[in-house]
Structures are given as C-alpha cells and as structure tokens.
Amino acid sequence: MIHHTAATCGVVDVGLLHRLQEASLNLRSAMSKNALLALAECFEFAPDKMADLDLSTVVESILNRAACEKKFLRDAADHALAKLAAYVPTARVLTALTSVAGSKNSKLCVAGCNGTVWMDMACFSLLVK
C-alpha cells in the first residue's frame, strides 16, 4: 500500500489528479491499483484542496474501476470511493456519484450507489458529533 502524509499531499493539483486518473485506467493492473490507492490518500490528506476541484472525471474513472472484473482493482476503487465520501463530501462529488444511476451496467450502478451510501454515512457522522 502507498503511504503519504499530509505534507506529501500538500502538492496536489489538477495536473497530478489528471495523471493519477489516467493511471487508474491503465491496462497494467499494478499501475491502476497504485493510482487508485494514491487517489485515496489524496482525498484523505488533502481534502480542502480536493473540495475546491472538479472531481467528476476522477470519480467517473474510479467508478469504472469499481465495476471492473478484477477483484483487487474493485477493492482499491471501493477504498478510494470510501475515502472520497468520508473526506470530500461535496455536492459536486455527490452529483458525480449519482451520474451513473441510469447506466445499463449494473456493476457501475452499484458502485455509484455504494459511494452515495458512504457519503451519507460520513455526513451523518459529522452531524452526530
């Protein structure tokens, strides 16, 4: 697993996210998995920067990996979606997660639904505190 700190993720920008998003869709499974794990850590350690960015294409890529055939890539994508929902619960992210609701791919619909449920749980835990 990749381990970054808040200091490392302090350099997150649109260019880095774009490169990680492209790498997450790479045909090489190891690269794709590591890109998904790096995205998860960006969401966790740089949530303020993430909230300011349009993450719709990044979310779309993660959702596509959450619906893929390989279990370890699905697990990495689910991990990234859970971190996204927990640390960057914005309206734009919610819109991106729900954009797949009408898809004919049931795995994609389930991935989007899972993301919205994780976001709902994250928002509820913020209200309870």
**What would the two tokens of residue 38 be?**
């790096």
Instruction: Examine residue 1 and state whether it is found in any structural domain, yes or no.
Output: no
Instruction: Examine residue 51 and state whether it is found in any structural domain, yes or no.
Output: yes
In tens, the pLDDT along 32-73 reads: 999 999 999 999 988 888 888 889 999 999 999 999 999 999
- In CATH, what number is assigned to the domain containing residue 40? 1.25.10.10
The Cα 125–Cα 108 span in angstroms is 26
Q: Tell me which residue range forms the domain holding 123.
A: 8-128
- pTM value is 0.87
Average pLDDT, the chain: 88
Cβ atoms of residues 54 and 96 within 8 Å:
no
Instruction: Examine residue 3 and state whether it is found in any structural domain, yes or no.
Output: no
Instruction: Examine residue 26 and state whether it is found in any structural domain, yes or no.
Output: yes
How many domains in the chain? 1
Q: Which amino acid is at 32?
A: S
The Cα 123–Cα 105 span in angstroms is 27
Mean pLDDT score, 15-22 = 93
Instruction: Examine residue 2 and state whether it is found in any structural domain, yes or no.
Output: no
The four Cα atoms 23, 24, 25, 30 give a dihedral, to 10 degrees, of: 80
Instruction: Examine residue 24 and state whether it is found in any structural domain, yes or no.
Output: yes
Q: Which amino acid is at 35?
A: A
